[in-house]
């Protein structure tokens, strides 16, 4: 089966499933999308790495990366290889001393780890063709309604920082990272970028 490379195009808050987010993957050489519902912790773990934030203490996925690096293991790629009864199945393709090993994983964890290794994300064409009609998704499952607009996790809601100086925003960003409030940190960072 032919593997198709995907790229992360967004993480949005899900209005249909409280506390969940929709991670959207887009095929690199096409227009098909793979929206996957993930938990808040995993969404933050992915966002922290994509935004290049440095938490005061390592997150679980950072610990996994440090563990792998300490023992000479490299994550080469992520493969979303199956979609069954509304659930995506993924694996980490790892390499040590020229030998490859496949490790089964929840899709959200695989991607959170993969972004830390700059590992490419792949799926199969049959999965991209199949997900269009899936409903009633849960964690790591498809949940997409083309008519529904989602709030972007990184978007500033309203204009709550209009009267806040850039120095104060930088201070609030540092505090949010120190307090491990990565969702707030992402929003503040977006406001700083918007002004720049």
Q: What is the mean pLDDT of each run of 10 residues along the chain (196 residues)?
A: 89 79 89 89 90 85 94 97 90 96 96 97 90 43 37 44 79 76 74 75
Tell me: do 135 and 178 sit in the same domain.
no
Residue 117 in contact with residue 161, Cβ under 8 Å?
A: no
CA distances from 80 to 41, 42, 86, 141, 188 (A): 20, 16, 13, 12, 32
Q: Is the same domain home to 166 and 118?
A: no
* Chain centre distance of CA 99: 27
Same domain flag for 130 and 82 = yes
Domain that residue 79 falls in: 3-153
Do 52 and 144 belong to one domain?
yes
Q: Are residues 118 and 26 in the same domain?
A: yes
Residues 38 and 95 in one domain: yes
- Residues 109 and 174 reside in one and the same domain: no
Q: Assess whether 75 and 134 both reside in one domain.
A: yes
95 with 173, same domain? Answer: no
Query: In angstroms, rounded to a whole number, what is the distance separating the alpha carbons of residues 41 and 112?
Result: 10
**Whether residue 84 is found in the same domain as residue 19:** yes
pLDDT score recorded for residue 82: 93
Regarding whether 188 and 131 lie in a shared domain, the answer is no
CATH number assigned to the domain comprising residue 91:
3.10.690.10
pLDDT of residue 169: 79
Q: What pLDDT is stored for residue 184 in this prediction?
A: 75
pLDDT value at residue 115: 96
**For the whole model, what pTM was predicted?**
0.71
Cα 186 from Cα 16, distance rounded (Å) = 22
**How many domains is the chain partitioned into structurally?**
2
Residue 125 shares a structural domain with residue 51: yes
In this predicted structure, what is the pLDDT of residue 178?
72
């Amino acid at each position: 089966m032919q593997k198709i490379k995907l790229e992360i195009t967004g993480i949005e808050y899900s209005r249909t499933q409280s506390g969940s987010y929709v991670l959207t993957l887009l095929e690199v050489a096409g227009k098909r999308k793979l929206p996957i519902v993930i938990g808040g912790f995993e969404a933050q773990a992915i966002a922290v790495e994509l935004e290049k934030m440095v938490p005061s203490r390592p997150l679980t996925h950072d610990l996994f990366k440090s563990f792998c690096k300490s023992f000479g293991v490299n994550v080469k790629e992520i493969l979303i290889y199956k979609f069954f009864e509304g659930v995506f199945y993924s694996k980490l393709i790892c390499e040590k001393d020229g030998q490859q090993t496949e490790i089964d994983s929840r899709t959200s964890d695989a991607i959170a780890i993969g972004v830390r290794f700059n590992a490419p994300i792949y799926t199969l064409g049959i999965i991209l063709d199949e997900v269009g009609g899936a409903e009633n998704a849960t964690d790591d499952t498809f949940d997409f309604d083309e008519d529904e607009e989602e709030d972007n996790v990184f978007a500033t809601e309203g204009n709550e920082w209009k009267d806040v100086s850039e120095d104060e925003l930088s201070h609030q960003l540092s505090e949010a990272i120190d307090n491990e409030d990565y969702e707030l940190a992402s929003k503040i960072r977006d406001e700083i970028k918007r002004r720049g």
